[in-house]
Amino acid sequence: MSRESFEKTAPAAASGFILTTRHGVVDMVRRTAIMGVINVTPDSFSDGGRFLDADTAAAHGARLAAEGADILDIGGESTRPGAKSITAAEENRRVLPVIERLRANSSIPISIDTVKSEVARAALEAGADIVNDVSALRADPAMAALVAREGVPVVLMHMQGTPQTMQQNPSYENVVEEVADFLKQQAEKASAVGIAADNVVIDPGIGFGKNLDHNLALLRGLPSLAALGFPLLVGASRKAFIGRILDLGPDERLEGSLAAAVAAALGGANIVRVHDVKQAARALRVADALRFGAPERLETRHA
């Protein structure tokens, strides 16, 4: 069988996934998709305060889309260790104008990074497509039913503890097995409330109740998570474990973040969540060539 006809008949999961959203598909077939981060917060660990103004945040989102983002992830509440929680009204006040502005000019899939169903509902109404719930449907008992009713994709992320407590003393017997068991269990719960399996994305939650060794073990163990059969999202961008390895602050973690993104892609991630889209897109194109083969038509100006 020729390579071409094999690819046409191969099951999607063998070479990737397609996530269908209200504003088009996220194509993860033979490519790693990029989720670009927009934090509309005063206190996010790497870019807090930079995009609090809705126009600035929307302009940043448009830039990330032009640089190659497949999804824009909008968050109004920081989840950094020890972050203060805010009300749904305040979170809505931050994120909704940004979603509305982006939606007025673009049809890029947008995810709302929230654990609150009230924020998710308003964001979906304003034009968001995907719910990115770092509590994996545990923080708000109304979230699962909302996602099921709306029929939208949801990211289920693993976290030990809460953002207030998670870095106090994270501990596991076997972090990869425990995270895999948790994600499997939450995906089953999602299915039990009527969320389609095709709409589930899983995420090990790098840095969420994990020390340096746990994060490294998870990045090494991604093939076991990919084997669960759901699209796998990994967010390592600018995180503290990179700072620990390099002894550098959040502004100096680009190269470490790119190394982690490439490692994640080669380990089986289907989506990487990054702050620096342009640079990640270049790194991931090379990773994807290693992973899936070089693209057939390279438009080459440089030898």
Near ligand HH2 by CB under 6 A: residue from 21, 32, 44, 257:
44
* Spatial CB neighbours of 83, under 8 Å, sequence gap ≥ 6: 43, 77, 163, 164
Amino acid at 164: Q
Contact segment (CB under 6 A) with ligand HH2 among 39-47, 121-129, 177-185, 214-222 equals 39-47
Residue 41 contacts ligand HH2 per CB under 6 A: yes
Instruction: State which of residues 134, 159, 195, 283 lies at the interface with ligand HH2 (CB under 6 A).
Output: 134
Stretch that binds ligand HH2, among 43-51, 54-62, 100-108, 173-181 (CB under 6 A): 43-51
Q: Which string of b and e fits 19-40 if b means at least 16 CB within 10 Å?
A: bebbbeebebbebbbbbbbbbb
Q: Which is nearer to ligand HH2, 79 or 199 (CB)?
A: 79
Positive or negative: CA dihedral 257, 258, 263, 267: positive
Closer CB to ligand HH2, 41 or 101, in the complex: 41
Say whether 194 sits in a helix, a strand or coil. Answer: coil
Asked whether 119 and 91 are in contact (CB, 8 A), the reply is yes
C-alpha angle with apex 118: 205 to 44, nearest 5 degrees?
A: 45
| 273 tagged catalytic | yes
Listing DSSP states for 125-140 in one string gives: HHT--EEEETTTT-S-
Indicate which single residue of 32, 39, 117, 135 sits in contact with ligand HH2 (rule: CB under 6 A).
39
Q: Is 155 in the site for ligand HH2 (CB under 6 A)?
A: yes
For ligand HH2, give the closer residue by CB, 39 or 288.
Answer: 39
CB 190, CB 144: distance < 8 Å? yes
Given 31, 121, 273, 291, the catalytic residue: 273
In the complex, least distance from residue 117 CB atom to ligand HH2, rounded to whole angstroms: 17
Q: Is 239 a catalytic residue?
A: yes
Residue 233 binds to ligand HH2 (criterion: CB under 6 A): yes
Among 235, 243, 256, 267, which residue interacts with ligand HH2 (rule: CB under 6 A)? 235
User: Which two three-digit tokens encode residue 29?
Assistant: 């077939």
Active-site annotation, residues: 239, 273
